[in-house]
Amino acid sequence: MTEVTSGRQGQIDPLPPKATNTPIVRESTDKQRRKVLASSFLGSMVEYYDFLLYGAAAGLVFPHLFFDESMSPFIGMILSYTILFAGYLARPVGGLIFGHLGDRYGRKNILLITLIGMGLVSVAIGLLPTYSTIGVAAPVILVLLRVIQGIAVGGEWAGATLMAAEHAQAKSRGFAASIAVSGAPAGAVLSTLVLAIFSGLPEEQFMSWGWRVPFLLSALLVVIGLYMRYSLTESPEFEAARHSGQVKTGVPLKRIFTDYPKQTILASLAITGPLFMQALMAVFIVPYVVSTGAMEQQPALMLLTFSAFLHIFAIPFFAWLSDRFGRRRTMISAALLSIALIFPMFAAFNSGNAFLIALGFIIGNPIIQASMYGPVGAFLADKYAPQDRYTGVSVSYQLGSVLGAGLAPLVSTALVELDNDLGSTNIAIYFIFLMIVAAISVWFVERKENNVVLPVTTAEPQPAPTSN
């Protein structure tokens, strides 16, 4: 056996380990990718079932149950939508908290925490006493629960999207990320469908207990989601960053605004328009159509459910287009398409014809919203290095969510109240402005793309020591 001396008389150093070229982090197998995609989709579906269920109930139930009955219906609606907005305001906070933890300790465990938190809040809302029982404490507790819900979903979107994108091959990164993104309309389908079924009860039963059941069913969905996520492997790109020493101990948020200021601001503005349309369809349109007298509540909810079902498949389709033709070209084309279709969409909703109203839902969800929203997961992930990506994607997405989705019901209600005859026209003009800003932002942020996908690395062979 050969020994290596240290040059110090009488002392012998052991041989170093044999040189190897063993991979530090292996690329995901096809089986692992499929498992990650399934769990990302299911987890996002559960999270958004809970989050959007509040939105569906905000215009139909909460104004009547959680506020003083002496208030005007308009004031009750505004207060209900304000609480809805509080959840969106809390989402950046959740993005910061869980983004920081996800960039320090990995994606997987954070996603378990967000899923549990969301489920507990939904069950609590389903058990919450109304204003007639506990008075002003009811809306106060509802605000608190909505804020906690917003924090949980703020950490969910980026984590689920990154798990899918970072396990994927580069050529299908957009499609893979969109599978997690399409969990949101799947959650919308499920929440709207369940609420629509129970809204078919006699009004007294629905308002007393029927609306609670969809919230309580969340517990079962969370158990299924946890089972799927528990056995996942960590993101290989994050593991590669950790093994190469690029995961830092500082504050990722500080690096986001020092190293990626342009990407963060422009990426947030780029997604504000499609997120505005997302909330407009999920929260505002059903009460709007019902208020025109053209359709009852239950069939309107079923039409929304059908359009959201188509949405599940439209999002991956547009993401696939972005893999093939590029993010910038696909998203700018989608912005122009959205501008062209917004007035026809509202014309359909205002027609009073059931067939045209159904067409309006299809134009709004699987075409206008999905066309620019489909590539968003990979679009945002490409802007940040793996060690800062969870925080960066969370911050940019949640800022866009506050400006777009969070304000959509409030802005739309105010624009209709401002002028009933021109309400939909005002909303359409506002949306066109958002989409113009989105297209300009995509153009400039993509011209200098910071696509920093860290490759799978291997340990370098160590040179053999020389004997003295």
Q: Is the pLDDT of residue 364 over 90?
A: yes
**CA nearest 364: which of 185, 241, 107?**
185
Confidence of residue 360 (pLDDT cuts 50, 70, 90): very high
Confidence of residue 459 (pLDDT cuts 50, 70, 90): very low
**β-bridge mates for residue 458, sequence order:** 23
By CB atoms closer than 10 A (0-12, 13-18, 19+), residue 448 is exposed
What pLDDT does 267 receive? 94
Distances (CA, A) of 239 to 97, 253, 269, 355: 20, 20, 31, 52
**CA nearest 340: which of 443, 275, 428?**
428
What pLDDT does 464 receive? 47
What pLDDT does 312 receive? 92
Residues sharing a CB contact under 8 Å with residue 213, sequence separation 6 or more, in sequence order: 126, 194, 198
Amino acid in the structure at residue 185: P
Q: Are 43 and 225 in contact, with CB atoms under 8 Å apart?
A: yes
Q: Is the pLDDT of residue 461 over 90?
A: no
Torsion of CA 303, 309, 312, 314, to 10 degrees: -60
Q: Is the pLDDT of residue 77 over 80?
A: no
**β-bridge mates for residue 2, sequence order:** none
Query: What is the mean pLDDT of the segment spanning 339-362?
Result: 95
Query: What is the mean pLDDT of the segment spanning 101-120?
Result: 86
Reduced to 3 states, what is the DSSP secondary structure of residue 38?
Answer: helix
Per the structure block, which two tokens stand in for 168?
């994927």
- Model confidence pLDDT, tens digit, residues 224-276: 888 888 877 787 888 887 887 777 666 777 888 888 888 899 999 999 999 99
Q: Is the pLDDT of residue 371 over 60?
A: yes
Q: Is the pLDDT of residue 443 over 60?
A: yes
By CB atoms closer than 10 A (0-12, 13-18, 19+), residue 425 is middle
Q: Residue written as tokens 């917003």?
A: 150
Q: Is the pLDDT of residue 45 over 70?
A: yes
What pLDDT does 246 receive? 73
Q: Is the pLDDT of residue 156 over 70?
A: yes
Q: Which long-range contacts (CB under 8 A, 24 or more apart) does 61-66 make?
A: 61/207, 61/211, 62/142, 64/207, 65/130, 65/131, 65/132, 65/138, 65/207, 66/130, 66/131, 66/138, 66/139, 66/142
d(CA 306, CA 298): 12
Confidence of residue 203 (pLDDT cuts 50, 70, 90): confident
| High-pLDDT (> 70) share of the chain, % | 88
Supply the DSSP string of 1-35, one letter for each residue: ---EE-SSTT-EEPPPPPP---BSSPPPPHHHHHH
What pLDDT does 273 receive? 95
d(CA 435, CA 466): 66
d(CA 432, CA 149): 30
pLDDT: which is higher, 93 or 20 = 93
d(CA 90, CA 48): 15
Q: Is the pLDDT of residue 100 over 80?
A: yes
pTM, two decimals, is 0.77
Handedness of CA 212, 217, 219, 225 (dihedral sign): negative
Q: Is the pLDDT of residue 210 over 60?
A: yes
Q: Are 461 and 20 in contact, with CB atoms under 8 Å apart?
A: yes
Per the structure block, which two tokens stand in for 309?
């079902």
What pLDDT does 250 receive? 67
**CA nearest 390: which of 188, 173, 156, 174?**
156
What pLDDT does 26 receive? 58
What pLDDT does 467 receive? 45
Residues sharing a CB contact under 8 Å with residue 449, sequence separation 6 or more, in sequence order: 382, 383
Report for 60-69, 114-123, 310-319, 453-462: range of highest mean pLDDT? 310-319
Report for 168-177, 214-223, 408-417, 429-438: range of highest mean pLDDT? 429-438
Q: Are 272 and 332 in contact, with CB atoms under 8 Å apart?
A: no
What pLDDT does 21 receive? 43
Handedness of CA 31, 38, 269, 148 (dihedral sign): negative
pLDDT: which is higher, 343 or 387 = 343
Q: Are 153 and 48 in contact, with CB atoms under 8 Å apart?
A: yes
What pLDDT does 249 receive? 64
Dihedral pair phi/psi, residue 424, rounded to 5° = -70, -35
| Other beta carbons within 10 Å of 457 | 14
Query: HSE of 41 in the Cβ direction (CA atoms, 13 Å)?
Result: 16
Distances (CA, A) of 389 to 97, 99, 124, 266, 419: 13, 8, 32, 16, 43
Element (DSSP H or E) covering residue 70: none
What pLDDT does 20 receive? 42
| High-pLDDT (> 90) share of the chain, % | 29
Show the domains of the chain with their CATH numbers: 30-229+241-447 (1.20.1250.20)
